[in-house]
Amino acid sequence: MKLGRVILGTVGVLALACAGGVVALRLGAGATDRAELEKKWADGPSHFVEVDGVRMHVREEGPKGAPAIVLLHGSIVNLHEWDDVVPLLTDKYRVVRFDWSPYGLTGPDPSGVYSTPRSAELMDKLLTKLGYDKFAVVATSNGANVALEYNRAYPGHATAMAFSMLPLERPSQTRKVDWRLKWLLNFHNAVLPNWRSHTFWRLMLEDTTPPGFDPTERMVDQIYDMDNLPGALDRQAQYIQANVKLFKTSDVGSVAESVKVPVLLQWCNYDDVISQGAQASVKRFTNTRVKLIMYPDLGHFPMWEKPQKFTRDLKAWLQTVEPAAAGEPQTP
């Protein structure tokens, strides 16, 4: 009897502790501190530039005056997605990367608008302020949508465009998702909508990459830290909702027809987030030539999975289109 009371008491204490933890997290106890994160993640070449009232996190690396490359990360992540790629490019290129709104350490937008057109507008104003006029654009996932919209709305700056993940149609709504990730997503949405755990983000990376790829603590930590900033998940949800509306009400992929510079498509066959196929994607670029490279062993984060292979092919292609950097016209 005494043992039973001890067990019941212990269970009760644990239940109260768990309930208290949930309440604390709902009240913002899990939110990360911006000042601390800037010390941690905005080190080295990082600096901040205010554009249209938005404080944007930027890095510029490589020789000044060298051909410029602008890197656009995907959704949920930030400019550190390119950490393993940048050192392989900076011997020859001036590499510019930034946290495009609403991700990373870039601050809230006072306009309250989070959408692909708004992200492209901020990109244009940022690069103009930094003094970049002509450059190649390398983009992945939702960053590819921003890049394509930027090229459509602000033509004449991109001299070449490379994509790895390219959502020209709405990402798959039927792909098989790890049951643990599904459960955690439902839990977070129902109980802790403004906070995500380390475990959730690790499972997210594992679910979209090939077997055997083990996300590093740094990869998981950066997502956890920056996506748990106050209001970050809400701003990201607004962005995703705006994208979903575009996919449902318009032909998003038609923006590819605006591209008139050389295109590289580094197609990662293991990825099943992107719904349309490689050849269907190539066909959308009706006014330029496309080089297609297929990777059967790469998933949604090729720049993390095999950065040397990914960057080797990107760099080799960039060297073949360098005349475009001087403004020479390209024909399909």
Average pLDDT of each block of 10 consecutive residues along the chain (332 residues)? 40 38 51 94 97 98 96 97 98 97 98 98 98 97 98 98 94 90 95 95 97 96 98 97 95 97 97 91 97 97 98 97 47 42
Cα–Cα nearest to 166, from 60, 244, 275, 240 = 275
Q: What is the pLDDT of residue 261?
A: 97
CATH of the domain at 117: 3.40.50.1820
| CA 54 from centre of chain | 18
In this structure, is residue 130 part of a structural domain? yes
DSSP state of 253: G
**Predicted local distance difference test score (pLDDT) of residue 317:** 98
Q: Is residue 24 part of a domain?
A: no
Would you say residue 76 lies in a domain?
Answer: yes
- 77 lies in a domain? yes
Other beta carbons within 10 Å of 125: 16
Query: Is position 51 within any domain?
Result: yes
Total number of domains constituting the chain: 1
Domain that holds residue 108: 34-174+230-324
Q: What is the pLDDT of residue 269?
A: 94
Long-range CB contacts for residues 84-91, cutoff 8 Å, separation at least 24:
84/303, 84/304, 84/307, 84/311, 85/303, 85/307, 85/310, 85/311, 85/314, 86/59, 86/61, 88/307, 88/308, 88/311, 88/312, 88/315, 89/62, 89/311, 89/315, 90/61, 90/62, 90/63, 91/62
End-to-end CA distance of the chain: 83
pLDDT at 31: 83
Neighbour count for residue 170 (Cβ, 10 Å): 15
Let me know if residue 39 belongs to a domain: yes
Q: Per the domain annotation, does 15 fall within a domain?
A: no
User: At 260, which amino acid appears?
Assistant: K
